[in-house]
Structure 1
Amino acid sequence: MDKLRALELFIATCEEGSFAAASAYCNTDPSAVSKAISRLEAQLQVTLIQRSTRQLSVTDAGKQYLSTARKLLQELSACEGEIKHLNDSPCGVLKVNSAVCYGHLYLRPVLAAFCARYPEIKLDLQINDLHTDVIESGVDIAIRTGYVKDSRLVAKRLSPMDFFVCASPDYLAKNGTPALREDFKAHQWIGFRIKETQQLQPVYLPDEQGDYALYGLEPSHITDDGEMMVAMCEDGLGFAQLPHFLAKAGLEAGRLVSVYPHFRPPQIENGVFAIYPKRTYLPAKVRVFLSYLADALEKQNESAYQTWAERVAYVR
């Protein structure tokens, strides 16, 4: 910073013609200007400005240095302006990484309207269920289920994650509705394998008091794709425990029914999160995307604290 300040004072001296005028222009005192230029000359081991009692004159070396210094500070100023514009104006490439199901079911429906509102933002979408290092991959926002414990990141909850135990109406008509959780052992069950860990998603079922707890079930079928699990459930291949965003379309259309009220795991990390690098100044493109997504969720009765799941009727 001292070098930049010295360059500013040197340029001002050359343009204003004296230490006094340069000091007034730069809001400092003449001795500070003189000392700054003397330090530059000592570092370069050349004379930049000839001093006399009557006037200052810039040497040939000083003129060459002045030309370069001007270009450097102009380029720096232009760069700073561009960076500030990127931070203040919604523009540039927005790199979003999303879990597959959430990306297809919740992000895709809002993208066209978002891009129409912010035409200077270009989307770079990565849709996968694999762990992504947000910092290393240069991702602006990652949409993930579950909280990521990383001090370099901010995790903003978009909504809780509510679960339903679902089946198709045809399956229930043919096989009946379980009365107790033990009855599920006599039914077909569709399990979900988590790609990252290759572990089966734990199943929660209520006891006679209605308290949900982990329950061991041997799945009849297994898939690692959420939309496939929904399709298998709708096609009558058995029961499935589905997060609200996967169950939504099937429940609304009547292709699925829930046999219990929705269940929300108690862990603090439960939910759908927008994860992004911790920064002092959040770029405008990130701010507007988060705001737009939150508004879109609110229109379908979802927020950081609740989902539409509590309004869903269930069959018993």
Structure 2
Amino acid sequence: MDKLRSLEIFIATCDSGNFAAAARACNTDPSTVSKAIGRLEVQLGLTLFQRSTRQLRITTAGQCYADTVRKILQDLASCEDELRHLNESPCGTLRINSAACYSHLYLRPLLQGFCQRYPDIKLEIEINDSHVDIIENDIDVALRTGFVKDSRLVARRLSPMDFLTCVSPQYLQAHGTPRCADDFQQHRWIGFRIKETQQLQPIFLPNDKGEYLPYELEPSHITDDGEAMAHMCADGLGFAQLPHFLAKQGLQSGVLVSLYPYFRPPQPESGVFAIYPKRDYLPAKVRVFIEFITASLESAGESANHTWAESWTPVINFSRFSI
């Protein structure tokens, strides 16, 4: 029998005054109660109760012990109630880790509405492009792009990651529009270096059937920052293949155009994810945050299997472009 159970039996015995009543209160039998009290007395080296055939009387040492044990059990019950409330109610500090581009462009605009709906949640937001260990760093939820391969984590896909080949209208006016793959060799391209691997992000271009195939191009410029890549593209420094969340503002404002329809990487496990540690009881603050983000994305035309890029009209059709 564990110590906590023995202490509960001890307090029940103090309150009831006999083993039989204590047994009923603890849903056990008098023999178990007697043995539990006996074990406590052996552990303490003290007599907790004076026993006779007619009555059970607590000793002075027993009364002192009971006062302390009662307070410990009450404090433990209060702590458990408080923790249960924190886990079941959307309150407390929510620690979020997010990729820089996604945070600035997608997460930040939603924070005011989230805080208005859940005023008892305090946000702590870490923004970086490193894949930090969210368990080791005590992160409640992370927003990440790419792949998730950690069995300790739950990865809920918020959306696929669709890519669009973008360029500024001014660049096209100055340098013309490529009509075939060879034409791209005469144009400038902005490459993206992946920080985790230090490799360049591969480029995929469509053939006349709409099938995207990998294509090798020598970049004129290289950056490892997504927002810088989008701005460089908008400033006319060349073509760039941008993920949908980076391309959205530029395309909607007209500072960028998409040369042809979106490309979705063939890996089914890729996308944008909300990632959190596996646990039996998900804290309410994490649950409502993910629900809020999901609902907000859906209102903007994005879900686990779709993005707004699917309905975007490119400036070139497949029939006019061939690798």
TM-score range normalised by the length of the shorter chain:
over 0.9
Supply the distance in 2 between the matched residues of 1:14 and 1:312 (Cα, whole angstroms).
75
| 1:110 alignment partner AA | L
Residues 93-242 of structure 1 correspond to what in structure 2 (within 5 A)? 93-242=93-242
Distance (whole Å) between structure 1 residues aligned to residue 136 and residue 179 of structure 2: 50
Cα separation, 1, equivalents of 2:181 and 2:43 = 82
Map of 1:22 onto structure 2: 22
Aligned-partner SS, 1:12: helix
Aligned to 2:319: none
CA distance in structure 2 between the partners assigned to 1:136 and 1:228 by the alignment: 30
SS of 1:135's partner is coil
Contact 1:180–1:208 (CA<8 Å) still a contact in 2?
Answer: no
Question: What is the letter of the counterpart of residue 169 of structure 1?
Answer: P
Equivalent-residue separation in structure 2 for 1:120 and 1:210 (angstroms):
49
Deviation, 1:2, is 2.1
Which stretch of structure 1 is more off in the superposition, 206-215 or 51-60? Answer: 206-215
- Checking the alignment, whether the CA contact within 8 Å between 1:134 and 1:276 is kept in structure 2 is yes
How big is the shift at 1:210?
A: 2.5
Q: How far apart in 1 are the matches of 2:17 and 2:147?
A: 61
1:81 is the counterpart of 2:81? yes
Checking the alignment, whether the CA contact within 8 Å between 1:162 and 1:307 is kept in structure 2 is yes
- The Cα of 1:93 is off from its aligned counterpart by 0.6
Deviates more, 1:37-46 or 1:215-224: 37-46
Partner Cα distance (1:184, 1:86) in 2: 57
Specify the code of the residue in structure 2 equivalent to 1:151.
S
Q: Write the letter of the residue equivalent to 1:261.
A: P
Q: Within 2, Cα distance between the matches of 1:208 and 1:79?
A: 66
Residue 308 of structure 2 is matched in structure 1 by 308
Residue-by-residue CA offset, 1:171-218 (whole Å, 9 max, x unaligned) = 111111111122111101011111222211111111333311111111
1:294 match: 294
Partner residue, 1:38: 38
3-state DSSP of counterpart to 1:186: coil
* SS in structure 1 of the partner of residue 135 of structure 2: helix
SS at match of 2:104: helix
Aligned residues: 316
In the alignment, which residue of structure 2 is the partner of 1:49?
49
- 1:53 Cα deviation after fit: 1.4
Per the normalisation by structure 2, the TM-score is: 0.95
> CA offsets per residue over residues 14-36 of structure 1, 9 Å max, x none?
11111122122222222221111
Alignment of 1:270-289 (within 5 A): 270-289=270-289
Are 1:154 and 1:276, in contact at CA under 8 Å, matched by a contact in 2?
yes
Partner residue, 2:267: 267
CA RMSD of aligned residues (A): 1.1
Secondary structure (helix, strand or coil) at the match of 2:3 reads helix
For structure 2, list consecutive stretches of 5 or more residues without a partner in the other structure. 317-323
Deviation (angstroms), 1:5: 1.0
SS at match of 1:238: coil
In 2: Cα distance, 1:102 partner to 1:264 partner: 17
**What is the letter of the counterpart of residue 105 of structure 1?**
L
- The answer to whether the Cα contact below 8 Å between 1:158 and 1:274 also exists between their aligned partners in 2 is yes
SS at match of 1:164: strand
Unaligned runs of 5+ in 1: none
Separation of aligned partners in 1, 2:114 and 2:240: 33
Contact in 2 for aligned 1:181/1:206 (Cα 8 Å): no
For the Cα contact (< 8 Å) 1:88–1:283, is it kept in 2?
yes
Contact 1:145-1:272 within 8 A present in 2 as well: yes
3-state SS of paired residue (2:57)? strand
* Paired AA for residue 156 in structure 1: R
User: What are the superposed Cα offsets for residues 121-166 of structure 1, whole Å, 9 maximum, x if unpaired?
Assistant: 1000000111200110000111110222111101110000000001
Q: What SS class does the counterpart of residue 13 from structure 2 fall into?
A: helix
Residues 180 and 207 of structure 1 are in contact (CA less than 8 Å); yes or no, is this contact kept in structure 2?
A: no
SS in 1 for 2:136: helix
| Partners of 2:107 and 2:96 in 1: CA distance | 10
